[in-house]
Structure 1
Amino acid sequence: MRKRWYALVAVAALAALAAGTLSPASGQNPIVVGASISQTGRLAVTATYVLQAYQLWVDDVNAKGGLLGRPVTLKVYDDKSDPGTGAKLYEKLIVDDKVDLVAGPYSTPVSAAASTVNEKYKKVMVAPMAAGDALWKRGYRYLIQTLTPSSLYYIGVVDLALERGLKTIAFMSEDSEALRVATPAVADLAQKKGLKVVHNEYFPRGTTDFSAMLTRIKALGADVLVCGCYEPESVLSVRQSKELDYSPRLLFAGHGAAVPEFYKALGKDAEFVLASDHWDSRMKTPGNAEFVERFKKKYGREPNYHAAGTYGGMQAFEAGVRKAGSLDQDKIRQALGELDLATIFGRYKVSETGGQIGKTSIIVQWQGGKKEILWPGGTATAKAMLPAPPWAERR
Structure 2
Amino acid sequence: LVSNAADAILLTNTLAEYKVKPKAIVGSGGGHADPSFLKAAGKNAQFVFDIVEWETDVGKPGVPAFNEKFKTKCGYNPAGESVDAYVAMYVLADALERAASLDPKAIRDALAATKLTTGPAMVASYDAIEFDQTGQNKNAALCIVQINDIGKGLERLTVWPKGARHSGYTPVFPAPQE
TM range (shorter): 0.7 to 0.9
User: 2:5 is matched by which residue type in structure 1?
Assistant: E
**Whole-angstrom distance in 1 between the partners of 2:6 and 2:102:** 44
The offset of 1:306, in angstroms, is 1.9
Aligned runs of 1:23-38 on 2, under 5 Å?
Answer: none
Counterpart among 301, 318, 342 of residue 76 in structure 2: 301
Residue of structure 2 equivalent to 1:387: 174
Q: CA RMSD in A?
A: 1.9
Change (3 A) 1:284 1:325: farther
**Whole-angstrom distance in 2 between the partners of 1:335 and 1:284:** 29
Gaps of 5+ in 1: 1-226
User: 1:236 is matched by which residue type in structure 2?
Assistant: L
**Whole-angstrom distance in 2 between the partners of 1:234 and 1:337:** 40
Change (3 A) 1:383 1:329: same
Gaps of 5+ in 2: none
Residue of structure 2 equivalent to 1:374: 159
Contact 2:59/2:165, CA 8 A, preserved across alignment = no
**Whole-angstrom distance in 2 between the partners of 1:285 and 1:334:** 29
**Whole-angstrom distance in 2 between the partners of 1:316 and 1:246:** 46
Residue of structure 2 equivalent to 1:313: 88
Residue of structure 1 equivalent to 2:11: 237
Residue of structure 2 equivalent to 1:261: 36
Higher RCO structure, 1 or 2 (CA under 8 Å, sep 6+)? 2
Residue of structure 2 equivalent to 1:356: 137
**Whole-angstrom distance in 2 between the partners of 1:237 and 1:315:** 40
Runs of 4+ in 1 over 4 A off after TM superposition: none
User: 2:147 is matched by which residue type in structure 1?
Assistant: W
Aligned runs of 1:271-350 on 2, under 5 Å?
Answer: 271-342=46-117, 343=121, 344-346=123-125, 347-350=128-131
The offset of 1:319, in angstroms, is 0.9
SS of 2:5 mapped into structure 1 = coil
Change (3 A) 1:240 1:350: farther
What is the number of residues matched between the two proteins? 165
SS of 2:57 mapped into structure 1 = coil
1:43-100 CA-to-partner distances (Å, cap 9, x unmatched) read xxxxxxxxxxxxxxxxxxxxxxxxxxxxxxxxxxxxxxxxxxxxxxxxxxxxxxxxxx
Contact 2:57/2:157, CA 8 A, preserved across alignment = no
Rg larger in structure = 1
Contact 1:324/1:331, CA 8 A, preserved across alignment = yes
| 2:31 pairs with 1:252 | no
Contact 2:70/2:76, CA 8 A, preserved across alignment = yes
1:122-166 CA-to-partner distances (Å, cap 9, x unmatched) read xxxxxxxxxxxxxxxxxxxxxxxxxxxxxxxxxxxxxxxxxxxxx
**Whole-angstrom distance in 2 between the partners of 1:306 and 1:333:** 23
**Whole-angstrom distance in 1 between the partners of 2:70 and 2:92:** 19
Aligned runs of 1:115-130 on 2, under 5 Å?
Answer: none
SS of 1:309 mapped into structure 2 = helix
1:358-392 CA-to-partner distances (Å, cap 9, x unmatched) read 111111111011111111111111111121123xx
Contact 2:49/2:147, CA 8 A, preserved across alignment = yes
**Whole-angstrom distance in 1 between the partners of 2:35 and 2:134:** 36
**Whole-angstrom distance in 2 between the partners of 1:357 and 1:386:** 29
User: 1:387 is matched by which residue type in structure 2?
Assistant: P
Aligned runs of 1:67-146 on 2, under 5 Å?
Answer: none
Contact 1:337/1:350, CA 8 A, preserved across alignment = yes
User: 1:231 is matched by which residue type in structure 2?
Assistant: A
Change (3 A) 1:380 1:355: same
Residue of structure 2 equivalent to 1:199: none
**Whole-angstrom distance in 2 between the partners of 1:243 and 1:298:** 41
SS of 1:267 mapped into structure 2 = helix
SS of 1:363 mapped into structure 2 = strand
Q: TM-score, normalised by structure 1?
A: 0.39
Contact 1:230/1:254, CA 8 A, preserved across alignment = no
